Amino acid sequence: MVTNAGILRDRVLWKMTDEDFDAVVTTHLRGTFTCARAAAVRMREQGEGGSLILVGSPAGQRGNFGQTNYAAAKAGIAAMVRTWSMELARAGITVNAIVPVAATAMTETIPAFAPYIEAMKEGQPLPDFLRKGEGFGTADDCAALVPFLASEFARDVTGQCVGIGGDRLALWSHPQEASVAYADGGWTPETIAAAWHTSVGSAPETVGIPAPKIPGA
């Protein structure tokens, strides 16, 4: 089972309507849940294992400006991958997400990519700084990951978010504690404030999808 339906309703938080939010979350998150549940029931009945291949996004891994609904839904899909991989392991069902980056109707409006996508449509290849540096290519470049994850070669691959795009194949990390501090007897707001910048808060995590590095820009 591959869950690949998706829509966009991009707006900043203070302009996003309930309808914008619900449409995207219903399509991406509830749609993935509903289809995967039906597949899991059938695969368990058959007793021969199987593969659930969900479609994530870099926005779900790192957030993205103007995409509250989309980023939240894709982050939820990543969480479902990890959860379902545990729940379905005994049935021999693997659960993974692909995190594709490709020139599609959803990405060709990104200003930094637009001229290169137009050139590609005219038969010119995408430059290496996109295919390798940004991991950005065509939808066909992402396709091989699906049959791999569904094959016997990937029977031991489950609970993973795997990025693919252009010439790049990558494994996304799972969230985990980046740094830890301790205080005997527990913490107060004041002791947290005193310790923050010299302990757990000294190297805060970055957010957002890094801007493309365009040569000469």
* Residues 143 and 183 grouped into a single domain: no
Looking at the structure, do residues 125 and 191 belong to the same domain, yes or no? no
Residue 216 counted as domain residue: no
Does residue 58 surpass a pLDDT of 70? yes
Q: Which residues are part of the catalytic machinery? A: 57, 70, 74
Residue 217 has pLDDT above 70, yes or no: no
If asked whether residues 203 and 106 sit together in one domain, one would say: no
For range 126-153, the mean pLDDT: 91
User: Stretch 161-177: mean pLDDT, rounded?
Assistant: 95
Domain total of the chain: 2
Name the percent of the chain lying above pLDDT 70.
97
Q: Which two tokens stand for residue 204?
A: 């805060």
* Nearest-angstrom CA–CA distance, 124 and 120: 5
Token pair 């957010």 in the structure block, residue: 207
CATH, residue 129? 3.40.50.720
- Average pLDDT of the residues in 175-191: 96
Tell me, yes or no, whether 217 lies in a domain: no
Same domain, 120 and 188: no
DSSP secondary structure string, 56-105? --HHHHH--TTBHHHHHHHHHHHHHHHHHHHHTGGGTEEEEEEEE-B-ST
Q: Quick one: 92 and 123 in the same domain?
A: yes
- 24-48 average pLDDT score: 98
pLDDT at 12: 97
Identify the DSSP state of 13. Answer: G
Q: What are phi and psi of 147, to 5 degrees?
A: -65, -30
- Residues 189 and 145 reside in one and the same domain: no
Flag whether pLDDT at 54 surpasses 90.
yes
Full-model pTM:
0.91
Q: What is the mean pLDDT of residues 142-156?
A: 97
Domain encompassing residue 193: 177-210
Q: Are residues 164 and 78 in the same domain?
A: yes
Cα 82 to its chain centre, rounded Å, is: 13
Residue 96 lies in a domain: yes
